[in-house]
Chains A and B, each alone.
Chain A
């Protein structure tokens, strides 16, 4: 077996055999599932807590619209504000909506009041706003109908004709391809982006620790009398890379098994979420959208998730993930290795860690901007710059069809940069691993790069 093979083998097996690897492998999917579980649970939990009292003095509300749904439980009462306040105070209602439309003049004020004990979510506020707008619209129309003696059915026809337009956002490619744009499309890319961020951090630091370990153990001089320092560094980076891929593969397998188990459990418990999802899948997308627009998004959440999962181009994303994770990892691992070689102990790494981790964090932060505007200048530049591209491009690619040349350029630059960085890191590494007891600064590092063989 050649020497780099031996090194990779050692790096790989010592890590995979560690107890911490086993624990991470088992806990990882549980933590991720738990994380998403908590997110979903929190968004659903709201529905149980929200209970609204509508004080509708004019009695206009109930006759026109029913907003009772899973998110919000509503009771109506034709009472005044003061009386409603008393009732609200002693009851377990979480909010009180006061609609003061007693006369025609009141309607023109276009103002209602919402009192709450617990701040309702943005979604409910928006929902209420829409609803009140439509109620007012109807009331005003009704007045106008009464005044101008038009047949109310004609007006109703107009109203229906004008209401709730849904814009289908479709991205049109230069080569004629069309793709519907949906913010939820960003979710898989975003998850992959976060995974890249986490994995690069986690395993990059492992490379750094490994280098420091060899240096403080003083075994490094023995080894580099047998192999070139560059070979040792590459072997370590490659070994840890294989560990990360193993971990990732195990997570996917475990998550698959886990999700099958969980969904079986859910179906077994006769949870209507599954039913809703099933119903939802039988609808056409237009019907589905209509439905979510009319009843609010909550009941369709599970359905939406399932729809999203089935519509995501997984093969493409996973291939891209493999590429961008590997490219990003190799780039950062080289830097981490250089940092590890330049210090005597992990506590000394602080001053060099920031410039290494900062671009990585920047990529993570920029991906939030990219979700808002996947084709903007920020999205473009940060998905081209190799230090941020692994994360940003994942998000961009899952949302919009990135032009081929941009993707190509981004990939090319990433490969070119990691090769350059590996070379530079190798030069720092080669000198650094034999330096002891000396505080290193950036000028020193630069000097090492220029030292002759």
Chain B
């Protein structure tokens, strides 16, 4: 079994609001799984169902082959987007308390905490109250309490918010390290840059439905627009004329200071990249030629806009 967590046909309704509509996702073991979607799409509801904070109206969740049950709580670590600590409580005491709630023994928790505090260089904060900490410091403490019990499944909702770039890298490195040690990570964020950087699987949820999922490579491949980028020098008019049939010039820049022009061309009909090269090779001087791989950001925006436009169109009554 290569799937750690499988959610099947999950639906959840709050009063008149359909939060999740028949959503299924499968999270491979030891993957970093990006759970993406615009605000209010239903990500948090899905995460809460996985955390057993709330239950689905219909659908099933299996964890490591078993139906999800309270005994799995200690095997899951959750860092919510909206997070905080008891302000008046001391850092060490609070971390111990949260670790014990996850089922750790006090002594073991204390030992592990000391190690993590050392690693994150916040050992001196053990006896301080949380209200005396800066936001970044508190976030570090929060991250430690999430991963301390070495959960098999780690759910991180916007884990980098509140961190400066240095600490962001520190946490990123820790996340990768945890994955190497065997953890599976669900990573929910709006920051597509970090998704590109660390995720290997993603699922995109929009308006309570899953609209896209798969491995990062696969998703990108499926969403390629068949656009190629050409850097060239030469006559733009003859370049444009050469593309008369079988190609679409999407975009062309002005000459840069070296006289190089950048053009994006979509292949139409069954044209292959070689056909494009053949067409332009005698017209201009080619400096570079490569495929345009869409960024996660592009895919996200494209998919979400497509769906939302379709939904709006369906709602407006058409003329007879």
Determine if chain A interacts with chain B: yes
What's the minimum C-beta distance from B145 to chain A, rounded to whole angstroms? 8
The answer to whether B82 touches A223, judged by C-beta atoms less than 8 angstroms apart, is no
Contact partner of B85 (CB less than 8 A), chosen from A1, A217, A225, is A217
What's the minimum C-beta distance from A228 to chain B, rounded to whole angstroms? 8
The residues of B that contact A7 with a CB separation of less than 8 Å are 101
* Interface flags, B132-150, vs A, CB<8A=1, else 0: 0000000000100110000
Alpha-carbon distance between A199 and B53 when the two chains are bound, in angstroms: 33
Alpha-carbon distance between A214 and B89 when the two chains are bound, in angstroms: 12
In this assembly, does A10 line the interface, its C-beta being within 8 Å of a C-beta of chain B? yes
In this assembly, does B51 line the interface, its C-beta being within 8 Å of a C-beta of chain A? yes
Residue of B nearest to A5 (CB): B100
Residue of B nearest to A447 (CB): B15
Residue of A nearest to B48 (CB): A434
The answer to whether A453 touches B55, judged by C-beta atoms less than 8 angstroms apart, is yes
The residues of B that contact A222 with a CB separation of less than 8 Å are 78-80, 83-84, 98, 142, 145-146
* Interface flags, A210-245, vs B, CB<8A=1, else 0: 000110011101111111110000000000000000
The residues of A that contact B5 with a CB separation of less than 8 Å are none
What's the minimum C-beta distance from B65 to chain A, rounded to whole angstroms? 22
The answer to whether A226 touches B87, judged by C-beta atoms less than 8 angstroms apart, is no
The residues of B that contact A223 with a CB separation of less than 8 Å are 98, 101
The answer to whether A225 touches B80, judged by C-beta atoms less than 8 angstroms apart, is yes
The answer to whether B98 touches A226, judged by C-beta atoms less than 8 angstroms apart, is yes
What's the minimum C-beta distance from B57 to chain A, rounded to whole angstroms? 6
The residues of B that contact A229 with a CB separation of less than 8 Å are 53
What's the minimum C-beta distance from A327 to chain B, rounded to whole angstroms? 29
The answer to whether B89 touches A221, judged by C-beta atoms less than 8 angstroms apart, is no
What's the minimum C-beta distance from B289 to chain A, rounded to whole angstroms? 50
Alpha-carbon distance between A227 and B102 when the two chains are bound, in angstroms: 8
In this assembly, does A451 line the interface, its C-beta being within 8 Å of a C-beta of chain B? yes
In this assembly, does A3 line the interface, its C-beta being within 8 Å of a C-beta of chain B? yes
Alpha-carbon distance between A28 and B51 when the two chains are bound, in angstroms: 44
The residues of B that contact A6 with a CB separation of less than 8 Å are 97, 100-101
Q: What secondary structure prevails in chain B residues at the interface with A? A: loop
Alpha-carbon distance between A430 and B54 when the two chains are bound, in angstroms: 9
The answer to whether B101 touches A217, judged by C-beta atoms less than 8 angstroms apart, is no
What's the minimum C-beta distance from A239 to chain B, rounded to whole angstroms? 13
How many residue pairs, one in A and one in B, have C-beta atoms under 8 Å apart? 66
What's the minimum C-beta distance from B115 to chain A, rounded to whole angstroms? 21
The residues of B that contact A217 with a CB separation of less than 8 Å are 84-87
The residues of B that contact A452 with a CB separation of less than 8 Å are 55, 57
In this assembly, does A172 line the interface, its C-beta being within 8 Å of a C-beta of chain B? no
Residue of A nearest to B87 (CB): A217
The answer to whether A10 touches B84, judged by C-beta atoms less than 8 angstroms apart, is no
Contact partner of A226 (CB less than 8 A), chosen from B55, B57, B102, is B102
Given A226-B73, A452-B57, are A219 and B84 neighbors across the interface (CB < 8 Å)?
Answer: yes
In this assembly, does B203 line the interface, its C-beta being within 8 Å of a C-beta of chain A? no
The residues of A that contact B15 with a CB separation of less than 8 Å are 447
The answer to whether A225 touches B51, judged by C-beta atoms less than 8 angstroms apart, is yes
Alpha-carbon distance between A221 and B48 when the two chains are bound, in angstroms: 9
Interface of chain B residues 75 through 118 with chain A (CB within 8 A): 76, 78-80, 82-89, 97-98, 100-102
The answer to whether B100 touches A14, judged by C-beta atoms less than 8 angstroms apart, is no
In this assembly, does A36 line the interface, its C-beta being within 8 Å of a C-beta of chain B? no
Contact partner of A218 (CB less than 8 A), chosen from B53, B70, B84, is B84
In this assembly, does A116 line the interface, its C-beta being within 8 Å of a C-beta of chain B? no
The answer to whether A453 touches B85, judged by C-beta atoms less than 8 angstroms apart, is no
What's the minimum C-beta distance from B43 to chain A, rounded to whole angstroms? 14
The answer to whether B100 touches A225, judged by C-beta atoms less than 8 angstroms apart, is no
Contact partner of B76 (CB less than 8 A), chosen from A213, A225, A430, A451, is A225
* Interface flags, A137-173, vs B, CB<8A=1, else 0: 0000000000000000000000000000000000000
Interface of chain B residues 239 through 273 with chain A (CB within 8 A): none
The answer to whether A218 touches B78, judged by C-beta atoms less than 8 angstroms apart, is no
The residues of A that contact B142 with a CB separation of less than 8 Å are 222
The answer to whether A225 touches B78, judged by C-beta atoms less than 8 angstroms apart, is yes
What's the minimum C-beta distance from A3 to chain B, rounded to whole angstroms? 6
Residue of B nearest to A436 (CB): B82
Interface of chain B residues 5 through 50 with chain A (CB within 8 A): 14-15, 48
Residue of B nearest to A223 (CB): B101
Interface of chain A residues 406 through 453 with chain B (CB within 8 A): 430, 434, 436, 447, 451-453
Alpha-carbon distance between A234 and B251 when the two chains are bound, in angstroms: 63
Given A219-B84, A221-B83, A225-B78, are A3 and B101 neighbors across the interface (CB < 8 Å)?
Answer: yes
The answer to whether B73 touches A225, judged by C-beta atoms less than 8 angstroms apart, is yes
The residues of B that contact A226 with a CB separation of less than 8 Å are 73, 98, 101-102
The answer to whether A227 touches B101, judged by C-beta atoms less than 8 angstroms apart, is yes
Alpha-carbon distance between A225 and B88 when the two chains are bound, in angstroms: 21
What's the minimum C-beta distance from A384 to chain B, rounded to whole angstroms? 37
What's the minimum C-beta distance from A106 to chain B, rounded to whole angstroms? 79
The answer to whether B53 touches A224, judged by C-beta atoms less than 8 angstroms apart, is yes
Alpha-carbon distance between A224 and B54 when the two chains are bound, in angstroms: 10
The residues of A that contact B98 with a CB separation of less than 8 Å are 222-223, 226
What's the minimum C-beta distance from B75 to chain A, rounded to whole angstroms? 12
Alpha-carbon distance between A85 and B98 when the two chains are bound, in angstroms: 82
What's the minimum C-beta distance from B45 to chain A, rounded to whole angstroms? 10
The answer to whether B100 touches A1, judged by C-beta atoms less than 8 angstroms apart, is yes
The residues of A that contact B52 with a CB separation of less than 8 Å are 225
Instruction: List 17 extra interface pairs beyond A14-B86, A223-B98, A228-B70, CB under 8 A.
Output: A3-B101, A14-B88, A213-B86, A217-B84, A221-B53, A222-B78, A222-B80, A223-B101, A224-B53, A225-B53, A225-B76, A225-B78, A226-B98, A226-B102, A229-B53, A436-B82, A447-B15
A–B complex contacts, Cβ < 8 Å, 14 sampled? A3-B101, A10-B97, A14-B88, A217-B87, A221-B80, A222-B83, A223-B98, A223-B101, A225-B51, A225-B73, A225-B76, A225-B80, A229-B53, A452-B57
Can you list the 4 inter-chain pairs with the closest CB atoms, starting with the nearest? A218-B84, A453-B55, A226-B101, A225-B78
Query: Which residues of A line the B interface, CB within 8 A?
Result: 1, 3, 6-7, 10, 14, 213-214, 217-219, 221-229, 430, 434, 436, 447, 451-453
Query: Which residues of B line the A interface, CB within 8 A?
Result: 14-15, 48, 51-55, 57, 70, 73, 76, 78-80, 82-89, 97-98, 100-102, 142, 145-146
